Amino acid sequence: MPLNNGRFVKKHVSLRKIKKKKKELDYTLNIKGRLLDLSEPRVMGILNATPDSFYAGSRKQTERDIADRTNEIVAQGGTFVDVGAYSTRPGAQEVSVQEEMDRLRMALSIVRHEQPDMPLSVDTFRADVARMAVEEYGADIINDVSEGADADMFRMVSRLRVPYILMSVQKDLHDTLLAFARKVQMLRDLGQKDIILDPGFGFGKTLEENYAVMNGLEQMQMTGQPILVGISRKSMINRLLDIQPEQALNGTTALNTLALLKGASILRVHDVREAVECVRIVAASCCNNSQPTINS
């Protein structure tokens, strides 16, 4: 149920209306004074400087692996690299603030050396880590998977003046929209400009709840903020299909395509080339109204 003057109303939102609304909004992000256009969806490549992320293929700990992954994201058409140093998978070990910073310092220095102009996102829920990443390495975006659980995070990102990804840990779309409305207003009151919303697939949700949120994803466009979707190789695919993360590329591609049709502006993924191809195919099928030529 979409927001309407602070209240919720039952309303069917067609894909055509969502696409028209998204086009009218003309989403952009201010990356150090340079406006990044989101009128066509973008792809964010994942780089995990961790030993225990749920998908083994994303774990990059040596200098060579981090450099190669950074360049691979660019070569395959990614717009952003998202660097994380604290695994949030169920059962992951606790990581101290100092260890998270040490891992990030190594990774961020390599990413900046390899691709100095690439927009750099840092995946952290700690305000002090966010400050370090921005002040020491010029991180462009803070990606917070905790819905602002650190009491200092909102004030910190507003002071740092970088775009902020606010991820929901709510179980359903109704509560997600309510939480987003409240917390976006809190951020606006602090002067935060660019806010990206992530419905938080895989965080605090059952299999059925994940798919219910995906089913209503287009309603999040009514918030007026760009939407990031991160479903790459996650349990909502693996549990449904009874497969391992290493086998989940096809399911990821299917859900990424659905998310794009429902208005996603950013796809956060392990497999950049395939996601970029999804973006191109959806754009061609939605925007090209000419009749196909049939070769005899």
Q: Could you tell me if 19 and 29 are in contact, meaning their C-beta atoms sit under 8 angstroms apart?
A: no
Residue type for position 209: E
Tokens of 52: 């225990």
Q: Could you tell me if 32 and 160 are in contact, meaning their C-beta atoms sit under 8 angstroms apart?
A: no
Nearest to 19 by CA among 225, 261, 194, 252: 261
Nearest to 224 by CA among 12, 38, 42, 11: 38
Q: Write down the catalytic residue from 42, 126, 131, 268.
A: 268
Residue whose structure tokens are 């994201």? 73
First and final C-alpha spacing in the chain: 48
Active site residue 234: yes
Nearest to 18 by CA among 242, 181, 258, 194: 258
Residue 267 belongs to what H/E stretch? strand 266-269
188-208: string of b/e by CB count within 10 Å (b at 16+)?
eeeebebbbbbbbbbbebeee
Q: Write down the catalytic residue from 69, 103, 234, 262.
A: 234
- What ranges make up the beta strands (E) of 74-178? 80-84, 120-123, 141-144, 164-167
Q: Could you tell me if 32 and 21 are in contact, meaning their C-beta atoms sit under 8 angstroms apart?
A: no
> Rounded to an integer, what distance in angstroms lies between the CA atom of residue 64 and that of residue 228?
29
Tell me which residues are annotated as active site.
Answer: 234, 268
